[in-house]
Amino acid sequence: MDTLTEVVLPGKVEPEGLELRERPLPAPGPGQVVIAMEATGVSFAEQQMRRGKYYDQPPFPFVPGYDLVGTVLATGTGVGRELAGRRVAALTKTGSWASHVLLDAEDVVEVPDGLGAAEAETAVVNGITAWQMLHRKARVRAGQTILVHGANGGVGSLLVQLAARAGVRVIGTASARHHEMLRRLGVLPIDYRTEDVPARVRELAPEGVDAVFDHVGGASVVASWRLLARGGTLVAYGSAATRDDEGSKQLPVLKILARVLLWNSLPNGRAAYFFNVWAGRSFAKNRFRARLRTDLTQVFAALKDGTITAQVAARLPLNRFAEAMRLAESGTVAGKVVLTP
C-alpha cells in the first residue's frame, strides 16, 4: 500500500462538506512511526472545528481527528523494533481522521492486549480528560459528592465511572432517555430539560457539592460555581452552550478564564480551573508525555479489569464521516461515536 485516505475539513461547512482525499503514504523519519488507524473518534472538538469555533484550531484546510488507536505499521531509525506490529493509542488534536497517521514514537502509548480498538479509543482523549480533571485538578476523595454535567457524553460517561471507582457520590445531568443507563452506573440523574438543576442539586447536597465538572460554559459556569461547598472545586472544560454562536471563537473561553481568575482571587476557600488537556505541552513536552502515558495507562487498566466500561455509541467506517458527525451532534447517543477504516 503506497497511499492513505484522509478526511479534510476545507472550511466552515456542514458535515457533508468535508472531503475524502488520497495522498502518498509517508515513510517514517528518525524517531517516527506510521500507524494504521483502527479507530478514531468524533469528539466535541471536531464539532466546534467545522464551525470555526475551536479556540486554537489550525487554519483551514486540515484533517480533523483528536485521537486514535491503531497498529504500528512502520518505524523510523531510533525506534525500537519491538514497537512494530503493536497496537498503540495517541492524542493528536488533529490528523487522526485518516487511514494512516505519521507520529513521533514518543507520543504513542501501548494498548494492553485484550482491549479492542474501538473500546480503547473511547478512553484516549475522553479518558485522559476525565482522569486528569478528577485526580489532578479536583483531587476527588472517597465520600465526596460531585456534579457532572452531560453525564451521558463521551467524557461524562467515563468521568462518572472513574468517580464511582474512587468511592465518590455522583450527581449527573442528562436528558431523561439516558437516566436508566446512568442509574446502572450508580449516578443520581437530573433531567436538565425539565428540572431546576440548582434546586435539585441543593436537595441532594444541601451543603453544596465538592466538585462540578462543566462542559456547557456560558451561564452554566456561574450556576456551577454557586453550587460548590466550601473547599469545593469547579472544573470547566468546554463551552457547548456557545457551539452555534457566531463571532469570536476565543471569546467564550476568555470569558470563562476571566471568571476563573476572579473566583480564585476571592477568599472563599473554593477553586476554579479551565481544563485544557494540552496544557503544558508547548513548554514542558517531556513532562506532558510522561503524565499522559501514566494517566492513560491507568485508564486502560480500569477499562481492561472491567471497573469502567467503554461507551461506544456507534461504529461507522471513515467514509461515512458526515453521518458520524450528525449522530455525534444529535445529542441522542450515550458514549462516543467511533470511526473505523
Strand, coil or helix: 296: helix
pLDDT digits (tens, 9 = 90+) for 93-137: 999 999 999 999 999 999 999 999 999 999 999 999 999 999 999
The verdict on residue 116 lying in a domain is no
Residue 251: CB atoms within 10 Å: 13
Q: What's the domain range around 246?
A: 125-274
The verdict on residue 43 lying in a domain is yes
Examine the domain organization and report whether 131 and 270 are in the same domain: yes
Examine the domain organization and report whether 20 and 150 are in the same domain: no
Examine the domain organization and report whether 68 and 7 are in the same domain: yes
Q: Which residue, of 274, 298, 320, is where some domain finishes? A: 274
- pLDDT, residue 117, reads 97
Long-range contacts of 165-169 (CB under 8 A, 24+ apart): 165/302, 165/307, 165/308, 166/134, 166/135, 166/140, 166/141, 166/142, 167/141, 167/142, 167/143, 168/140, 168/141, 168/142, 168/143, 168/144, 169/143, 169/144, 169/145
C-alpha closest to that of 91 among 295, 233, 262, 273: 295
Q: How many domains does the chain have?
A: 2
The verdict on residue 13 lying in a domain is yes
The verdict on residue 20 lying in a domain is yes
Residue 264 sits in a domain whose CATH number is: 3.40.50.720
The verdict on residue 253 lying in a domain is yes
Examine the domain organization and report whether 176 and 96 are in the same domain: no
Residues in the chain: 341
Examine the domain organization and report whether 182 and 247 are in the same domain: yes
C-alpha span between 284 and 43 (Å, rounded): 25
- pLDDT, residue 60, reads 97
Examine the domain organization and report whether 211 and 260 are in the same domain: yes
CB 312 within 8 A of CB 335: yes
Q: State the Cα angle at 67 between 271 and 240, rounded to 5°.
A: 45
Examine the domain organization and report whether 267 and 129 are in the same domain: yes
Q: State the Cα angle at 49 between 288 and 321, rounded to 5°.
A: 105
In the DSSP assignment, the letter for residue 136 is I
C-alpha span between 40 and 46 (Å, rounded): 12
Q: Which residue, of 256, 274, 292, is where some domain finishes? A: 274
The verdict on residue 224 lying in a domain is yes
- Give every residue of the chain whose pLDDT is below 50, as ranges: none
Examine the domain organization and report whether 158 and 266 are in the same domain: yes
Q: Which residue has the cell 451521558?
A: 152
pLDDT digits (tens, 9 = 90+) for 174-228: 999 999 999 999 999 999 999 999 999 999 999 999 999 999 998 999 999 999 9
- pLDDT, residue 1, reads 66
Residue 107 sits in a domain whose CATH number is: 3.90.180.10
Examine the domain organization and report whether 332 and 266 are in the same domain: no
- pLDDT, residue 18, reads 97
Examine the domain organization and report whether 78 and 184 are in the same domain: no
Examine the domain organization and report whether 88 and 148 are in the same domain: no
| DSSP E strands, the chain | 3-8, 19-24, 32-42, 67-75, 87-91, 100-104, 108-110, 145-148, 169-174, 187-191, 209-214, 228-236, 271-274, 312-317, 336-340
Q: Grid coordinates representing 60?
A: 483551514
Q: Which residue, of 274, 301, 322, is where some domain finishes? A: 274
CB 129 within 8 A of CB 45: no
C-alpha span between 40 and 340 (Å, rounded): 7
Phi and psi angles of residue 191, each rounded to the nearest 5 degrees, phi first: -85, 105
Bridge partners of residue 18, in order along the sequence? none
pTM: 0.92
Examine the domain organization and report whether 250 and 221 are in the same domain: yes
Q: Is the peptide bond before 61 cis (omega within 30 degrees of 0)?
A: yes
The verdict on residue 167 lying in a domain is yes
The verdict on residue 72 lying in a domain is yes
Q: Grid coordinates representing 105?
A: 514514537
C-alpha closest to that of 66 among 101, 36, 105: 101
